[in-house]
Amino acid sequence: MTDADVFDLDRFTPYRLAVAAKRTSEELAIQYRTRFGISIPEWRVLVHLESAGGDISVRDIEARVALEKYEISRTASRLEERGLVTKSASTTDRRLIRLALTTEGRALMADLLPLARAYQEKIEKRLGAAFEGLEAALDQLLKEGANPAD
C-alpha cells in the first residue's frame, strides 16, 4: 500500500480550507456581483480601501489579500474607470501607486457593507458554537510570520 492509497483528500486541511474559502467567497460574490456589478478582486480592493480609512498603496493591498500586484493594478484601473477610486503616485516613492476611494466609491461601500455584515452574521449563525473556534484557528493560521514547518 502506498501513501496515495491511504491519502484522504476530504480530510486534507489545505484542500478543505481552499474549498470552504472559495464557496463562501462565491456565495457573497453572487450577491455583490448581481447588485453592484463588481467582481471578487474589485470587492477585495474596495473593502481594503474602506477598512484603511483613507488611501493605501497597491503594495499594502498586495501584502494583505490573495491577489498578485498585476491583478490589483488591473483591478484598480477598472475601478478608476468606473469612478470608484483614484490612483496617484506616492509623494515619497514615485514607483509606488496609492489608491483612494472617491465619493462614489464611499457611497458604493456604504450600500455594500451592510450586505457583507449580513453575510458574516449568516456564517456565524450557520456555525453556531463552532464559530469562535474557527476564528481562533484562522487567527493562528494567518498570524504574520506563521511558518507551517514550526
Q: DSSP 3-state assignment of 97? A: strand
Q: Could you tell me the residue ranges of all domains in the chain?
A: 19-139
Q: How is domain 19-139 classified at the architecture level of CATH? A: Orthogonal Bundle (1.10)
Q: pLDDT grade, residue 144 (50/70/90)?
A: low
Between CA 100 and CA 112, with CA 106 as vertex, the angle to 5 degrees is: 125
The whole model's pTM is what?
0.82
Phi, psi of 38 (to 5 degrees): -115, 155
User: What local confidence, expressed as pLDDT, does residue 149 receive?
Assistant: 57
User: What local confidence, expressed as pLDDT, does residue 9 receive?
Assistant: 85
Integer Cα distance of 40 and 128 in angstroms? 26
User: What local confidence, expressed as pLDDT, does residue 132 receive?
Assistant: 93
In sequence order, what E strands does the chain have? Answer: 56-57, 85-89, 97-101
**What tens digit of pLDDT does each residue of 91-120 get?**
887 778 889 999 999 999 999 999 999 999
